[in-house]
Structure 1
Amino acid sequence: MTFYRKLILAALVLTLCVVSLGAYVRLSDAGLGCPDWPGCYGALTPHHAADAINAELAMRPDGPVSHAKAWKEMVHRYFAGTLGMLVLLIFVLAWRGRRETNGGPGLPFLLLVLIVFQALLGMWTVTQMLKPLVVSAHLLGGMATLSLLLWLWLRERGQASHAYFASVDHLRRGAGLGLLLIVAQIALGGWVSTNYAALACTDFPLCQGVWVPAMDFEHGFTLHRDLGETASGDLLPLAALTAIHWSHRLMALLVSLVLGWLVVRLFRTPGYAGTAVVISILLLVQVSLGISNVLLSLPLAVAVAHNTGAALLLASLVWLNFKVRRR
């Protein structure tokens, strides 16, 4: 099953690329660079859709469509389509060699279902005009794909010796809590990004010059609404964007405290110092990137790195949970 494991690893690396590319497309306002799906104005590439793109530019020079944005969007789709083919191949190989795999084809089948749903979310992202709930769900689906592929790859590598996993029962609840909080923080971060609320607070650690600014949680966390609007169609107020941003900051503090406590416990457990170092570094980098986004007014490179850092921090917690739960 060596080829099978290599295929899973390739899909895992590609998923990280797709997640980062998705963030780049979203943060560079290229999500509607091709306003149809799966092609671009019905063509395979933006090059073949040049006339349609030029016509759109002539009508709306400052609109969401341009040649550069179309290529960004389509490159992301090409990568995502390749990932879908790899996951399909993984499932086929897992089914054919189900007696030789460490866990059977159940997890590969779940991955295949998730990838199909991701494709639908990608389509709805365009057809629903970047509705925040759809775009956020698409982001979470990408993170879930990354997590499941990592778990599958770790499982197929084979389990380590019993000595490596000895006396770690005390870590399981902490590792599980850390993972749940990271998922919640990624969901909040996605909600910040898809609602363009990253600069609702432009200072740190204060927000709009105070610790607790005026906030509108009702409109900020209404899920079923269009981008930039309330459920009734009015313009989304700044207080709603502030509530979204401030909640993400508060959760970041909670995540940092819990992961800091978990890292201390890992350092005290034989065989887990390396894991503690990895989580510590990723956490420090992620917090620094988040603060930099605010103080530097959301540079594209820093914002994309923040998304990629979230994926890597999530992967480190998945890795930890695998280690403390597998025997």
Structure 2
Amino acid sequence: MKKLVLCSLLLALVVIILGAYTRLTDAGLGCPDWPGCYGHLTVPSSNDTVAAANAAFPERPVEAHKAWNEMIHRYFAGALGLCILAISILALVRKEPDTPTKLPLLLLGLVIFQAALGMWTVTMNLLPVVVMGHLLGGFTVLSCLFLLYLRLHARSSQMPRPGNVHVSGLALTGMVILVVQIALGGWTSANYAALACTDMPLCEGDWLNRLDFGGAYSVPEADNYEFGAHDYAQRMTMHMVHRVGAVITFLYLTWLGLRLILRAPQSRVKLAACLMLAVLTIQLGLGVSNVVFSLPLAVAVAHNAVAATLLLVMIWITYSLYRYQGASYG
């Protein structure tokens, strides 16, 4: 079960990366129906099937490269769902009293809801709330799988508990700040606002007097949300809020990481803190590069992947601080 959870964890990370790639290549509606593609299990390729698909969806003619991006993402997501189903069945079948059961069942519910969000993403034409929810759902599945893996590892290694409640609370606060920042990034991406500001460190022009928080965090009525439905001022507001969130996240996590390196008595906590600072620095560099180099595809995808990695490191730190007993941090 532990190996299956680890494989599912890696698969979930791949699904998040593929989801980011699909979104950033404007392939979210590459297949206008769900769960198939133009009524097929694969992308239509022959002249007859392409002609039939174009006739059935005249507003969305077949673009094979976008359709394949979308379908590959769905194939991997489906494989992840089957793995989580297997984990849930194993958790219920095994009779050991210390085998987690609630978390696998929660994961199963989450992945079913994720499938529904994936369907609504298509049927609601990339409604930003649904797109952001789908992104956060993927991060939630990844986090729960990692937490399950940590619990299984702690069971096998008989790690002591409980730990330092105060310091684990500081780490939990950092994780909440990070999740909020990921949500802000998801909203910015879902509304195509990643390039609303092209200057650094602030936005160009009279940006301060053009901020529109009410409009930026509302959903305007539209038939299709592909390429965004907000005006420039609203997108610029999303972008600047995400930048401010990045500064707050960077400062808090840097302070927390240095505190743990200097005061934590456990070597694994120090190691995790060092890793967190390294990943945080990479993430900051990727965020700046997105603006400076006008959102290169590889950099933008990496920005999503590193955000997921940073969240996993924060979960590791928080869980380790909670599990260890007798910690003194000065």
TM-score clears 0.5: yes
CA deviation profile, 1:211-241 (whole Å, cap 9, x unmatched): 7351111111014754887xxxx95210000
Aligned to 1:184: 180
Q: CA deviation at 1:208?
A: 1.1
Aligned with 2:274 (options 274, 277, 291): 277
Q: CA deviation at 1:174?
A: 1.3
Query: Does the 8 A contact of 2:162 with 2:322 survive in 1?
Result: no
Q: CA deviation at 1:47?
A: 4.0
Residue correspondence of structure 1 range 154-165 to structure 2 within 5 A: 154-159=150-155
Aligned to 1:220: 216
Aligned with 1:245 (options 236, 239, 250): 239
d(CA) in 1 for partners of 2:23, 2:53 = 20
Aligned to 2:328: none
d(CA) in 2 for partners of 1:146, 1:318 = 11
d(CA) in 1 for partners of 2:242, 2:52 = 40
Q: CA deviation at 1:53?
A: 4.0
d(CA) in 2 for partners of 1:175, 1:19 = 24
Letter in 1 for 2:217: F
Query: Does the 8 A contact of 2:54 with 2:61 survive in 1?
Result: no
Look up the SS of the partner of 2:210 in the other structure: coil
Aligned to 1:203: 199
TM-score if structure 2 supplies the norm length? 0.89
Query: Does the 8 A contact of 1:195 with 1:228 survive in 2?
Result: no
Q: CA deviation at 1:103?
A: 4.5
Query: Does the 8 A contact of 2:220 with 2:229 survive in 1?
Result: no
Give aligned-pair identity as a percent: 47
Letter in 1 for 2:102: G
Q: CA deviation at 1:104?
A: 2.7
d(CA) in 1 for partners of 2:130, 2:47 = 28
CA deviation profile, 1:87-126 (whole Å, cap 9, x unmatched): 00000000001425x3431000000000000000000000
Residue correspondence of structure 1 range 251-262 to structure 2 within 5 A: 251-262=245-256
Aligned with 1:286 (options 280, 283, 288): 283
Task: Name structure 2 gaps, 5 residues minimum.
Answer: 325-330
d(CA) in 1 for partners of 2:272, 2:229 = 46
TM-score if structure 1 supplies the norm length? 0.90
Q: State the aligned residue count.
A: 318
d(CA) in 1 for partners of 2:92, 2:42 = 34
Query: Does the 8 A contact of 2:27 with 2:70 survive in 1?
Result: yes
Residue correspondence of structure 1 range 99-118 to structure 2 within 5 A: 99-100=96-97, 102-118=98-114
Q: Which moved more, 1:29-38 or 1:169-178?
A: 169-178
Residue correspondence of structure 1 range 10-29 to structure 2 within 5 A: 10-29=7-26
d(CA) in 2 for partners of 1:153, 1:42 = 38
d(CA) in 2 for partners of 1:152, 1:62 = 44
CA deviation profile, 1:34-89 (whole Å, cap 9, x unmatched): 10000011111004676454566699999674001111100000000000000000
Letter in 2 for 1:258: Y
Aligned with 1:146 (options 136, 142, 147): 142
Query: Does the 8 A contact of 1:19 with 1:142 survive in 2?
Result: yes
Look up the SS of the partner of 2:284 in the other structure: helix
Query: Does the 8 A contact of 2:286 with 2:299 survive in 1?
Result: yes
Query: Does the 8 A contact of 1:172 with 1:324 survive in 2?
Result: yes
Query: Does the 8 A contact of 2:163 with 2:322 survive in 1?
Result: no
d(CA) in 1 for partners of 2:223, 2:213 = 16
After superposition, the Cα gap between the structure-2 partners of 1:64 and 1:172, relative to the gap in structure 1 and judged at 3 Å, is farther
Aligned to 1:322: 319
Letter in 1 for 2:79: T
Letter in 1 for 2:260: L
d(CA) in 2 for partners of 1:167, 1:35 = 50
